Chain A
Amino acid sequence: MDFFLQLLINGLCLGFLYGLSAMGFVMIFKSSSVLNFAHGELIALGAFLFLALVTWAGIPIPISFLLTLAVCFCFGFIVERFFLRPLIGEPLIFVIMLTVGLASMFKGLMLLIWGGNLHTYPDILPASLAIQLGPVTIPPVYIASLVIGLIFLSLFGLFFKYSSQGIYMRSVADNQRAALSLGVHVKRVFALSWAIASLVAGMSGIVLGIINGINVHNLSGIGLKVFPVVILGGLDSIGGAIIGGLIIGLLESFTGGYISTSLSEVVPFIVLVFILLIKPYGLFGLVEIERV
């Protein structure tokens, strides 16, 4: 029973992190229908920027956290402006391949700068934050990630509901052409969604880095794990991303605990294929209606 509880808690925490990482991905897809294969690299970039600011530049942690988010925001903006914008209206495969190329570029660059070794942050959180839940201890990082994640989720909820930019983004996601005709600056919305997505990715990179250590390969691998998560939740649903993340996290944790750890890496993808066969647009996704 203890083992089960531990797996349950681990799975939920892991799943919450997946959901958090998937959030930025969904945001880009929702507004501009771009499948971003470079999302894992954006996550890794956030983690490494934070590492550089904290350990090399020696800037206090809260300030470097905000600085990292700001840099990620600008980076997302630049990526959209210089790489994605020329491809508006081009066939799907070019856009997909461009993000694949960008992923490979960023990954190579990060490997050149930081190498493929595992880095760790200095101890950021006091151990006294840990919560004892029956027989299971929840480490402080998980609690911090939960808090940060919930703060961001509610901030984004408010942003999308009340701010004018958020409403523009929702309108573009809903119907690009109608939004355009009503005077929404669609290109600016694309840029903004990349910037925000990159910010969210950077944030989840920092959290993941605190938990698992920072390694280019692991963090960019999370970018691929995002696919089962978003397919499960539906490609265009932010709430679905969190739920999909939780399901995938639990699945991975239980397979790892009861069957084998190597299978737990593949299980999300096996589930993904079945979900695609049974419910192609995910659990919460919008069904695309197509006319010739």
Chain B
Amino acid sequence: MRKLKFHPSGNFNEYYAQELTIFETDFGRVSLIVGLMALFAIVPLVLSPYMLYIVNMIGIASIAAIGLNILIGYTGQISLGHGAFFGVGAYAAAILATSLGMPFIVAVPAAGVITALVGMIFGIPSGRLKGLYLTIATLAGQFIIEYVLVHWESLTKGTMGINLPAATLFGLELFSDRSFFFVIFISLVIMVLMAVNLMRTKYGRAFIAIRDNDRAAEGMGIPIFRYKLLAFAISSFYAGCAGGLWAFYMRSITTEPFNLNLSIEYIAMVIIGGMGNIAGSIFGAVFITFLNEGLRWGTDILINLGTFSSAALTMAPLREFVFGLAIVLFILFEPRGLAEVWRIVRSSFRLWPFSY
């Protein structure tokens, strides 16, 4: 058996493969396994249904945020249409489940694939455009998809929305928050593993090369248009799967939630969590979901105390304000996000008391 690595006192890598390991130390591997076991064994038993609902929302948001991070953080293509792609996934899953009667386990990945195709269509402008212009093109994509969802009534039932049948998995009906917890978090673990490993392959390295300088990447023989489309497809696949899970979890969907604000919310998760960092997306999803819930809770308390009447203090504007403030403060003071904060905290513990 090889020697276990715990706290190396420096960087002793001799091969490129050593740079690419997921875990720098065996300590990380052990703590991850312990953490996952705790997550699946303790969390669903201890938490109340409402808390479990929030945790599930975090799981779904994490999947979508990881997808966006692959696009923004790794490939450097800014997309303002991720909320709409999430909506496409939700609708695709709902339509597949109701009209075609597809079972849950097929409908969700199928929704992901359909969303990936839609994402590729809106990724086509990336062949000629970059930076600001691409951002505006994806903004247009957001509005066009929103319009189609509302107005293609024969397929999406317009503003009426769609009710989904209960999800069944291996003959078991998933109706409680707890059973969904397992489904969502097992998918999250699979999706995280896929994303982390994708970034270690040739495709991931090509994405990073395109982010750093796309002309130079092209010069080194990377077909950038194909890779950009691939990045759009993968990112939308994640959004579609998250949307499909969300649709089955909510049991009824309307077009309302998939607006520009949702897209901005996902970008906020990526930025606040840390761009180009998979764990960061999860941090970001946790932060934004708790921010939303905390604000709801806070406004409820203020209204109950009678300091403000419920008419004067509504949740939406305050949420909007705090949300913007969080984005601005993170960009100004910690642009590398919560992942960087986490790294600093961890290494200061590790190096204590002789930090250098």
Contact = CB atoms under 8 A, between A and B. Distances in A.
Scoring A94, A101, A263, A291 by chain B CB atoms within 10 A of each residue's CB, the highest score goes to A101
B232 to A, nearest CB: 14
B320 A104 contact: yes
Nearest to B127: A277
A290 B215 CA distance: 9
A62 interface: no
A103 B135 CA distance: 16
A33 B124 CA distance: 24
B195 interface: no
A96 interface: yes
Contact-residue bracket for chain A: 35 or more
Contacts of B131: 92
Scoring A104, A107, A109, A276 by chain B CB atoms within 10 A of each residue's CB, the highest score goes to A104
A100 B327 contact: yes
A270 interface: yes
Contact of B327 (A97, A276, A291): A97
A86 interface: yes
B224 interface: no
B190 interface: no
Interface stretch (B48-56, B143-151, B166-174): B143-151
Interface in A37-56: none
A273 B125 contact: yes
A224 B135 contact: no
Contacts of A276: 125, 128-129, 133, 136-137, 140
Interface string B314-340: 001111111111111001100100000
Given A35-B132, A224-B139, A292 B331 contact: no
Contacts of A269: 139-140, 143-144
B239 interface: no
B135 A105 contact: no
A262 B321 contact: no
Interface in A182-231: 224, 227-228, 231
Interface string A257-282: 00000110110011011001100110
Contacts of B144: 266, 269-270, 273
Given A92-B132, A98-B328, A101-B325, A266 B219 contact: no
A269 to B, nearest CB: 4
B132 A104 contact: no
Contact of B141 (A102, A105, A273, A277): A273
B333 to A, nearest CB: 9
A170 to B, nearest CB: 21
Interface string A69-91: 00000000000000100110010
Interface residues of B, number: 47
Scoring B131, B135, B268, B331 by chain A CB atoms within 10 A of each residue's CB, the highest score goes to B331
B101 to A, nearest CB: 32
Nearest to B124: A277
B321 A109 contact: yes
A90 B335 contact: yes
Nearest to A82: B332
Given A109-B321, A262-B151, A277 B125 contact: yes
Contact of B324 (A104, A112, A266, A292): A104
Scoring A97, A100, A276 by chain B CB atoms within 10 A of each residue's CB, the highest score goes to A97
Nearest to B335: A94
A244 to B, nearest CB: 13
A93 interface: yes
Nearest to A216: B317
A235 interface: yes
Scoring B72, B129, B147, B322 by chain A CB atoms within 10 A of each residue's CB, the highest score goes to B147
A109 B318 CA distance: 7
A103 B267 CA distance: 14
B275 A104 contact: no
A272 B140 contact: yes
A291 B215 CA distance: 8
Contact of B328 (A96, A101, A270): A101
Interface string B253-278: 00000001000100110010001000
A273 B327 contact: no
A157 interface: no
Interface string A11-37: 000000000000000000000010100
A111 interface: yes
A103 B324 CA distance: 7
Interface of B: 72, 78, 124-125, 128-129, 131-133, 135-137, 139-141, 143-144, 147, 150-151, 213, 215-216, 219, 260, 264, 267-268, 271, 275, 313, 316-328, 331-332, 335
Q: Which 6 A-B pairs have the closest CB atoms?
A: A108-B321, A104-B324, A101-B327, A105-B324, A111-B317, A108-B320
Interface of A: 33, 35, 83, 86-87, 90, 92-94, 96-98, 100-109, 111-112, 116, 224, 227-228, 231, 235, 262-263, 265-266, 269-270, 272-273, 276-277, 280-281, 290-292
7 contacts: A92-B131, A108-B319, A108-B323, A269-B144, A273-B137, A273-B141, A292-B213
